[in-house]
Amino acid sequence: MSRAAVPLVARLVRNPRVVVGGIVMALLVFSALFAPWIAPHDPMEQDFLSQLQPPAWSAAAPPAEEGKTPYWLGTDNLGRDVLSRLIWGARTALIVAVAATLLAALAGTALGAAAGYFGGRIDAVVSRLVDVWMAFPPVLLAVVLVALLGTGLTSVVIAIAVVDWTRFARVVRAETQGQRALDYVTSARMLGMSPLRILISEVLPNVMPLLITLITLEMGIAVVVEAILSFVGLSVASGASTWGGMLGEGRLYVNQAPSLMVLPILATMVVVLGLNALGDGLRQELDPVVRG
C-alpha cells in the first residue's frame, strides 16, 4: 500500500457509515459465496411434515428431532428452511446488484463522459435521450422489459441496467463538465494530448471517486428492483430462493406465519440501508467538495 493511501484508509476506518456499510457488504458477499457450506439445509428440500414451523426460539416451535439440524428461522408453507432460503437469496441479490450496476455504470459513464467533455451535438443527443428515458416510471419500465425478454436472471440484469444507466450518465456528464473547465485539462490540451486521451487518462480518474459512490448506491437500488420483480414472479425460476419471491409466498400465510414476510423484508432493508450508508460514507471521504 502506498503512503498516499494510508491516510485515506485511516479516514475510511474512522467513518462509522463506511464501517457499518462495509460490514453489511461483507456479510452479503460471504453469504453469497459460501451459501452451500453455511446454509443448514437444502433451500429446495421440502418437508411436508414440518410446514409453517415458527422460529426455533419461539415457544410454539416443536422440539428438534435428535440428530437433525433445527429450523432456526422456521419453515415455509412447503416445509423449506427459511434461513437457508435467505442465505441463498443473498446470492441472487448480489449477482443482480453487481452485474446490473456494472453494466449501467459502463453505459452511463461512457455516454455521460462523452456528452460532458465534447459537448455540442453529442451532449444534445445524450441529454435528450436521458430526458426521454427518465420520463418512464423506472420500475414499470423494468417490468415491461423483463416481460418482453422473458423471465430469468439475465433478463433481470439487462432490464435494470437499461433502466438505470441514465443515473450514471447525468452525474458523470455534470462532473465531466466541471472537470473540463479546470486548469489541468487546459494544460493537457496545450501539451498536445488528444481529446480522447485527456478524457480517459486525466478526467475520468478525477470522476472516479464520485462514480464509486454512485455504484454503491445503485447496488442498493438494484436489490430493491430485483425483489420487486421476484415478488411479481418475473425474476428467476419459480421456487428458487429470492427475497422478493419469499415475500410473495409469505404474504399468503401472513396470519399463520408472519415471519415469512418479516424476515425477507428485514434482509432487504438491512442490505439496502447498509449499501446506502457505505455510499454516503465513501462520498464524505472521497469527494473533496463534501469534505470541504
Among 236, 232, 266, 231, residue whose Cα is nearest residue 246: 231
What's the rounded mean pLDDT across residues 34-38? 93
Top-confidence range, 26-30, 247-251, 252-256, 278-282: 26-30
What DSSP character marks residue 264? H
**For residue 4, what pLDDT is reported?**
47
**For residue 288, what pLDDT is reported?**
58
More confident residue, 57 or 96: 96
What single string gives the DSSP state of each residue in 129-153? Answer: HHHHHTTS-HHHHHHHHHHHH-SSH
**What percent of the chain stands above pLDDT 90?**
42
More confident residue, 221 or 62: 221
**Rounded to two decimals, what is the model's pTM?**
0.89
146-162: per-residue pLDDT in tens? 888 888 888 999 999 99
| Domains of the chain: residue spans and CATH | 15-41+71-291 (1.10.3720.10)
Top-confidence range, 6-10, 43-47, 59-63, 148-152: 43-47
Q: Is the pLDDT of residue 142 over 50?
A: yes
Residue 103 CB-density burial (10 A; 0-12 exposed, 13-18 middle, 19+ buried): middle
